[in-house]
Amino acid sequence: MTIPTISIRNLHKSFADNEVLKGIDLEAHQGDVISILGASGSGKSTLLRCVNLLETPTSGHILINGELIKMKDDKKHGPMPVSIKQVERIRSRLAMVFQGFNLWSHLSVIENVIEAPIHVLGVPRKEAIVKAEALLERVGLFNRKDYYPGQLSGGQKQRVAIARALAVEPEVMLFDEPTSALDPELVGDVLSVMRDLAEEGRTMLVVTHEMAFARDVSSKVIFLHEGLVEEEGKPELIFENPTSERFKKFISTVY
């Protein structure tokens, strides 16, 4: 049995008195595409942000390729990572694509893509540019490489964000509702790039409302309700024969 790329065990996360995650277990192996579904407030984005410690879990364990992210309980600040160096090293293996693009507006498209390889990974500038150009060609934006984010559509910005995420050669890609801020006519271009990544065997955790993507591309679907896993399984099984009444109701309203 291979070691999971990501293993989450009994994960809890609270904000003050609000417990958002109430004990989540999740495993992703190399090449898995796991779609995380649920209504607003179910804990989907919080779960994703805990994986790369943009949010610090209240309790539970996260392992990346079998390596436990070590935590300590600081009496003043609550749970904290033991080693910032460990967090930075693990984050360099996990790339996140956000709902709001998060591009640097003062940098051109290609400068956005080469920023992390140069300044985080130490890749020589010329090498980073060659790779960035290839990635932009791949997402259909090579001819926009010298544009600035303000000159791009939402769909183009998100494809640049995907190219930027790929530039650090991540082991896992985390997508936090990557199409929800886009006009409907722009969603298809972004989903097409994501489908291509899935076909390549990329390991992906995807928080999404795109039911067709979840059904057709995922190797596994997880449905969260109020911070707990309400339904999970292979998409062809749970979409055709859901056991949870809440999931039945959810897919009837959004699918």
Among the residues of the chain, which ranges form H helices? 44-51, 84-91, 109-119, 125-138, 154-166, 184-199, 211-217, 235-238, 245-254
Q: What is the pLDDT of residue 126?
A: 95
- Choose among 16, 23, 9, 25: nearest CA to 78: 16
Write out the residue range of the structural domain in which residue 159 sits: 104-170
Q: What is the pLDDT of residue 183?
A: 84
Q: What is the pLDDT of residue 74?
A: 81
Task: Report how far residue 57's alpha carbon sits from residue 80's, in angstroms, rounded to the nearest whole number.
Answer: 8
Q: Per-residue pLDDT for the chain (255 aa), expressed as one digit of tens each?
A: 688 999 999 999 999 899 999 999 999 999 999 999 999 999 999 999 999 999 999 999 999 999 999 999 887 778 899 999 999 888 888 999 988 888 999 999 999 999 999 988 899 999 999 999 999 999 999 999 999 999 999 999 999 999 999 999 999 999 999 998 888 888 888 999 999 999 999 999 999 999 999 999 999 999 999 999 999 999 999 999 999 999 999 988 876
Say whether 63 sits in a helix, a strand or coil: strand
Q: What is the pLDDT of residue 134?
A: 96
**Residue 239 domain-assigned?**
no
pTM over 0.85: yes
How many independent structural domains does the chain possess?
1
**Residue 64 domain-assigned?**
no
**Residue 157 domain-assigned?**
yes
Task: Report how far residue 68's alpha carbon sits from residue 224's, in angstroms, rounded to the nearest whole number.
Answer: 24
Question: Would you say 51 and 94 are in contact if contact means Cβ atoms under 8 Å apart?
Answer: yes
For residue 189 the two structure tokens come to: 């271009």
Cα atoms in the Cβ-side hemisphere of radius 13 Å centred on 206: 31
**Residue 110 domain-assigned?**
yes
Say whether 134 sits in a helix, a strand or coil: helix
**Residue 74 domain-assigned?**
no
**Residue 128 domain-assigned?**
yes
Say whether 142 sits in a helix, a strand or coil: helix
Q: What is the pLDDT of residue 77?
A: 76
Q: What share of the chain is helix, strand, coil (3-state, %, to 5)?
A: 40, 25, 35
Cα atoms in the Cβ-side hemisphere of radius 13 Å centred on 37: 30
**Residue 229 domain-assigned?**
no
Q: What is the pLDDT of residue 1?
A: 67
**Residue 130 domain-assigned?**
yes
